[in-house]
Structure 1
Amino acid sequence: MTEHSGQVAHNARVWNYWLGGKDHYTVDKEVGDQVTAMYPSIGEVARADREFLGRAVRHLAGEAGIRQFLDIGTGLPTAANTHEVAQRIAPDSRIVYVDNDPTVLAHARALLTTSPEGATAYVDADAHDPDLILRAAADTLDFDRPVAVILLGILNFVLDTEQATDIVRRLVDAVPSGSYVVVTHPTLELGGAGNAEAMAFWNENAKPPITARTGQEIAAFLDGLELLPPGLVSCSRWRAEEGTEPQQVAQYGAVARKP
């Protein structure tokens, strides 16, 4: 079975289905529905993750003054993509998207719209190869100036925790002081114990395989960085709109600054 034939469910397409998009095949819907039956809050996780991205990018482009974003594991274009959120605040923002899913590549042109003052680019690369990502991103980003490295729901596809830590370290080493790392990651904590069975089903029926991690393991990816308040929390509750009490989802989120 080939990946592009629609015979194997793929993360970017299933995630698109959970977000209410149309860029998926029947097999993605079937796997998505089965995962939802086993773990009913997965749709809330997907939406909370996307909303977290918006809040994080708004803070970084606004208050933090960041003008460069390296978004690894982009996924399929949907509403409020990173460049749209950033360039709405700072039109001169430069964004590089990275993904290796052939479906995402086919839709990449939707990610390459940009304000005249800014820039967007797409790199076809795997998160397991940070050196390739950094070399390609250097065509668009200036690594002598702060960069926000966005790793939303991507380190969970690097099954070996030591390797995932090395990837984050390599990316952090490549950016200067004043840069940021933005992370979300699924967990069996935060009420996510029911996700274990769904993840096992996923790994038998879809690509790429996935793993959950504890808050302690996820926090270790950010060792040596300064966590912005409120720290590592359910992504739905990271700087939620004032006066709201969002439902907790089993997906940690954090934004950290390189000192």
Structure 2
Amino acid sequence: MTGSDALPQIDTSRPHPARVYDWWLGGKDNYPVDEELARNILSADGTAVRGARANRRFMHRAVRAAAGAGIRQFLDIGTGIPTEPNLHQVAQEAAPDSRVVYADNDPIVLRHAEALLSGSAEGSTQYVHADVRDPDTILGLAAESLDLSRPVSLSLIALTHYLGDEEDDVHGLLKRYVDALAPGSFLILSQVTQDLSPEGVAKAAGLFRRSGTPFHPRTLPEFYRFFEGLELLGPGVIPVHGWRPEPVDVEAQAEGVVPVYAGVARKPGA
């Protein structure tokens, strides 16, 4: 574990997206303030739980695709609270020698780091306590475990909608991460959109913002911008259920729309 000398205090006076997400996934590592927001958003946007589950399954499929393409290093930013199977379990099941670094800024995730650090004997699993907005810190600490001169799979699952275009320069931020990675690296993203559920997502975004959490749904063209200069893997940018679906994803589509786009791309040049 790196990135913090002492355990920071957990603020239970306001909700945190990772803990709200944990409640939607049926987890227990959240507080009443998180549950209240999670329930309110679910009442306003009935897709919230479906979206959380669909995002997890997309992560599993995308990580297996990266491992199948020969990637053996994984950097997951915005890890969230552990929900099995975690990314390192998926990667190391496909390739036991995979090296994984998680990064998150939530103290609860930090306190669960021991659970994250139980990977395969052949591989490595580490945790960085840092914010996505600080790429120098995350990349510097990740480089203690990963060889950034070799391809890395960088994933930000359901994270970019918490980052703004102006205040966070989200596209410039993503470019800094991708620029630091070797040719042949992968970028795995998912992002909430209003395109597929305008009214529900607008209400959910308003609830997040009133709770003190920025929230930025994006259109399909806006999401495509994250992949500029990269080679999209088939089937391209698509609603999350449809990215290389497995039978469970096909069945889940019958439950209704999930207003989330997903995509995986490769950095050219290798």
TM-score category, normalised to shorter length: over 0.9
Q: Which residue of 2 aligns with 1:249?
A: 258
Q: TM-score, normalised by structure 1?
A: 0.95
Q: Which residue of 2 aligns with 1:166?
A: 172
Query: Which residue identity is paired with 2:97?
Result: D
Check the 8 A contact 2:47/2:257 in 1, yes or no.
no
The one of 79, 82, 85 equivalent to 1:77 is 82
Q: Deviations over 1:77-111 (max 9, x none)?
A: 00111100000110000000000011111111111
Looking at structure 2, the residues matched to 46 and 77 of structure 1 have their Cα atoms a distance apart, in angstroms, of 13
Q: Which residue of 2 aligns with 1:234?
A: 239
Q: Which residue of 1 aligns with 2:209?
A: 203
The one of 50, 53, 62 equivalent to 1:56 is 62
Looking at structure 2, the residues matched to 139 and 229 of structure 1 have their Cα atoms a distance apart, in angstroms, of 32
Looking at structure 2, the residues matched to 12 and 192 of structure 1 have their Cα atoms a distance apart, in angstroms, of 23
Q: Which residue of 2 aligns with 1:47?
A: 53
Looking at structure 2, the residues matched to 51 and 169 of structure 1 have their Cα atoms a distance apart, in angstroms, of 26
Looking at structure 2, the residues matched to 195 and 89 of structure 1 have their Cα atoms a distance apart, in angstroms, of 35
Query: Which residue identity is paired with 1:81?
Result: N
Identical-pair percentage: 46
* 1:165 aligned counterpart, secondary structure: helix
* 2:224 aligned counterpart, secondary structure: helix
Query: Which residue identity is paired with 2:194?
Result: L
Shift of 1:192: 4.1
* 1:183 aligned counterpart, secondary structure: strand
Q: Which residue of 1 aligns with 2:98?
A: 93
* 1:20 aligned counterpart, secondary structure: coil
The one of 109, 126, 130 equivalent to 1:104 is 109
Q: Quick one: structure 1 residues 216 and 193, their matched pair in 2 at CA, closer, same or farther if it must change by over 3 Å?
A: farther
Looking at structure 2, the residues matched to 84 and 192 of structure 1 have their Cα atoms a distance apart, in angstroms, of 35
Check the 8 A contact 1:127/1:154 in 2, yes or no.
no
**Is 1:150 matched up with 2:152?**
no
Check the 8 A contact 1:158/1:210 in 2, yes or no.
yes
- Once the two structures are superposed, the pairs formed by residues 26-37 of structure 1 within 5 Å of their partners are 26-37=32-43
Looking at structure 2, the residues matched to 209 and 133 of structure 1 have their Cα atoms a distance apart, in angstroms, of 21
* 2:207 aligned counterpart, secondary structure: helix
Looking at structure 2, the residues matched to 151 and 5 of structure 1 have their Cα atoms a distance apart, in angstroms, of 24
Q: Which residue of 2 aligns with 1:65?
A: 70
Check the 8 A contact 1:192/1:249 in 2, yes or no.
no
Check the 8 A contact 2:14/2:211 in 1, yes or no.
yes
RMSD (Å), alpha carbons: 1.6
Looking at structure 1, the residues matched to 58 and 265 of structure 2 have their Cα atoms a distance apart, in angstroms, of 14
Shift of 1:3: 7.3
Shift of 1:242: 5.5
Check the 8 A contact 1:237/1:248 in 2, yes or no.
no
Shift of 1:168: 1.1
Looking at structure 2, the residues matched to 254 and 157 of structure 1 have their Cα atoms a distance apart, in angstroms, of 17
Shift of 1:193: 3.5
* 1:221 aligned counterpart, secondary structure: helix
Q: Which residue of 2 aligns with 1:139?
A: 144
Greater than 4 Å deviation, 4+ residue runs: none
